[in-house]
Structure 1
């Protein structure tokens, strides 16, 4: 009885501490790329005004709790991007983000699947693009929508003795996406100062689907466009 009471008291204290922070909307962040007063077009000096000094400082990389920010090394030290790191651990209604801010998760969590993000009404059906590729022994997948890029990792232990690259080459999107979607694990979420509509060419053999194509495939549907397979980014 005593241990349960202590646990409940601790949970109450944590909730009170979270409520004292400024509350930011996760849904608004995913739609706009801005996290309350934090936007990806800010300079280092502007970030100091909003967040104070970071917990960890490198010349071009600062860390504030779960928030990590990359800056250009030349004045005025413009932001390259910011990210919510280790997003797979997001859970509950509220999540501490920095010493000053908490995140209202708005029904999302670290267990939210790519199809659930795409089906949540955050973006128009074809505003979002889905890139996927073999990444080492596993599969990488990213959703790009406006300035937002959501990274997922897919362990490829479900494909047996094949490596990930062979599996993707041998499988049509209609065969692969439902299996991949259910196994995708949220990794990090990035916000850029410009629309993030393509992947770095040459790094991996990225394949591209529109958001609406991906949703149809993850749901087990198949269209004439799906049968032709995903296309490579131009």
Structure 2
């Protein structure tokens, strides 16, 4: 049984030896065969392989002329993360360090060792109120508010951040391999500057929350 730490995952993107960038063969050696699969390996693949191990999901990149590798790890269904630890895959136990589905974005930000690596977007891809916490370029934590109206311009910051931190609910957590196009990079390349007014540093988010 592999033992990993959610706080370490927030800081490094690694679940012990399970990490972005390792090969398909390494993942099978560590975790066994996946419980669910979508797609299949090259050269017969019509879509890239996506493997499910329970609460842990793995996407595999298939670069031309090279062996497949883990593109990203995803921890899904946070409502199932309860207690001191949770088995997120048959061979992987995750120490939760008191995090659960009700944990606020600010708790995740404070768990990062180097706060200057943290940035926060205050809307989702459709510009509805939401929180996405980025740790560097490769780690992404998404929170959903379930709002019905998009945000055209940034509301008064302190009240808006307090509302988001209190009401947004943890949705999922990703760790990407640096070679892959993250959702943050895809946003910035597809809509240059569109989300800049809604971006804060981790420090500024906490300052707005406490102000």
Q: TM-score, normalised by structure 2?
A: 0.82
CA contact (8 A) 1:62 1:70 kept: yes
Task: Give the distance between the partners of 1:57 and 1:184, measured in 2 at CA.
Answer: 30
Task: Give the distance between the partners of 2:114 and 2:171, measured in 1 at CA.
Answer: 23
- For 2:94, the equivalent position in structure 1 comes to 103
Alignment equivalent of 1:211, drawn from 191, 194, 202 = 202
- For 1:24, the equivalent position in structure 2 comes to 4
Structure with bigger gyration radius? 1
- For 1:127, the equivalent position in structure 2 comes to 117
Alignment equivalent of 1:113, drawn from 78, 83, 104 = 104
Task: Give the distance between the partners of 1:108 and 1:177, measured in 2 at CA.
Answer: 20
In structure 1, the residue corresponding to 2:116 is in which secondary structure? coil
Pairs aligned (count): 192
- For 2:19, the equivalent position in structure 1 comes to 39
51-60 vs 197-206, which deviates more? 197-206
CA contact (8 A) 2:84 2:96 kept: yes
Supply the RMSD in Å over aligned alpha carbons.
2.3
Q: TM-score, normalised by structure 1?
A: 0.74
Question: Are residues 1:164 and 2:150 paired?
Answer: yes
Q: Higher helix fraction: Structure 1 or Structure 2?
A: 1
| Structure-to-structure mapping, 1:1-234, within 5 angstroms | 21-58=1-38, 59=40, 60-74=49-63, 75-120=66-111, 122-134=112-124, 136=126, 138-146=128-136, 147-156=138-147, 163-166=149-152, 169=153, 171-194=155-178, 198-199=184-185, 200-201=187-188, 202=190, 205-206=194-195, 207-219=198-210, 221=211
Q: Which runs of 5+ in 1 are unaligned?
A: 1-20, 158-162, 222-234
- For 1:16, the equivalent position in structure 2 comes to none
Off by >3 Å, runs of 4+ in structure 1: 134-138, 195-199, 202-205
Q: Which runs of 5+ in 2 are unaligned?
A: 41-48
